[in-house]
Structures are given as structure tokens and as C-alpha cells.
Amino acid sequence: MSVTQSDFRKAMGCFATGVTVITVDRAGEVHGMTANAFTSVSMDPLLVLVCVDHRARTHAHLHARKRFGVNVLAENQRAISEYYARSPEIHQHPEEAGASFDRTAHGTPVLHGALAYLECRLHTTQEAGDHTIFIAEVEDVVVREGEPLLFFRGDYRSVGAPIGSLSGSENQEAPNLGKTGNGRNT
């Protein structure tokens, strides 16, 4: 049986992910790209990867700058995801989508209000079909409280209620144990 691109998209759409915006400095401007083909790779050294389409402008920018940020979007940042999934030459009005940025000491743009930020330095690249896998070392991280924006079957979602274990009533209560602070480690 031959798998079509549509079949492949549908199957991959079942794999719910978070949503990130990859940020890279481009001659003093912030260039951003929405990406969910992002994952951790290694603990020692700390490595992550992101897969970038050869046609994306970000592809050339990552090769040129060799440093980028990965901003994990919070559930109220859908407009920012949509904004950076479009491809104007330069993103002129990020504030209209609610996006504003700080800079790290390396000049990498950091998105305000993101759930987490990872500052990355390019380690290696691997060509893979019509995408390039950018593997990068994590130099710094920032983590904030909050809930993530999710992407599932082509739609944005928010996280639902925690699912308890089915193996017993005691374990079914487990998701709330941390909140009551009774010291049990589940």
C-alpha cells in the first residue's frame, strides 16, 4: 500500500505536540518561525533538534546565524503561532499578534510570556528529504508557570484534565496529590 502525503499528514496530526516559535537575529531584526517538529535529543551534552523546511526563510537564517531561541508557546499565544506561520519578508507588526522580545547576551530574541525559552547554539545539521534537521546545544533555559498551547489534528488546543491511573482508586487520585501536598511521590 502506498502512503500519500495526505495520509502521512493525517497520521502525524494525531501526534499532539506543543508549539514553538524559533527566533533568530537577522541583522538586528527578529525573525520568527512557528515550529512543532522540535524535540530533545541528548542529556549529555544537552541537545535539541528542530526540522526546518528548505523553503522556509528561517532555514538560511539558522545556517547564517548559528544561534537561535526556541520559545515554547503558552495557551494564550495562538495569535503569535499564526503570525509566525505566515511568511512575509520581514515580520513588520509582531505587536499586533501580542509578540514582543528581549535579547539575550548573545543577541538572540526571547519572546515575552512564553512558557519556556531555550537558547541554542548550532551543533550539526543533517539533510533529511525536503527538510534539514538542525541539532543544537542548549546554552540557557528559562521556565515559567502556565499552561501550553497544543496542536492536534490541525487545530490549536489547550491541555485537558490530568488522567489518573486505571490500576486502582488510590492512584486515580494521584494527579491531585501534588496540590494537597501530602508528600506522596507518584
Ligand X SMILES: Cc1cc2nc3c(=O)[nH]c(=O)nc-3n(C[C@H](O)[C@H](O)[C@H](O)COP(=O)(O)O)c2cc1C
Cell 484534565 locates to 161
Q: Are 141 and 119 in contact (CB under 8 A)?
A: yes
Contact code string over 9-28 relative to ligand X, x by CB under 6 A: ----------x---------
CA distance 151 to 78: 10
177 binds ligand X per the rule CB under 6 A: no
Contact code string over 54-93 relative to ligand X, x by CB under 6 A: --xxx----------------------x---xxx------
Among 26, 41, 53, 125, binds ligand X (CB under 6 A): 53
φ, ψ of residue 144 to 5 degrees: the values are -120, 160
Residues 108 to 167: which contact ligand X by CB under 6 A? Answer: 151
Q: Which among 50-58, 72-80, 101-109, 171-179 is the span making contact with ligand X, rule CB under 6 A?
A: 50-58
What one-character DSSP code corresponds to residue 157?
A: E
Query: Which residues contact residue 71 at a Cβ distance below 8 angstroms, ignoring those fewer than 6 apart?
Result: 20, 21, 22, 23, 110, 111, 114, 116, 117
Chain residues that interact with ligand X, rule: CB under 6 A? 19, 33-37, 51-53, 56-58, 81, 85-87, 151
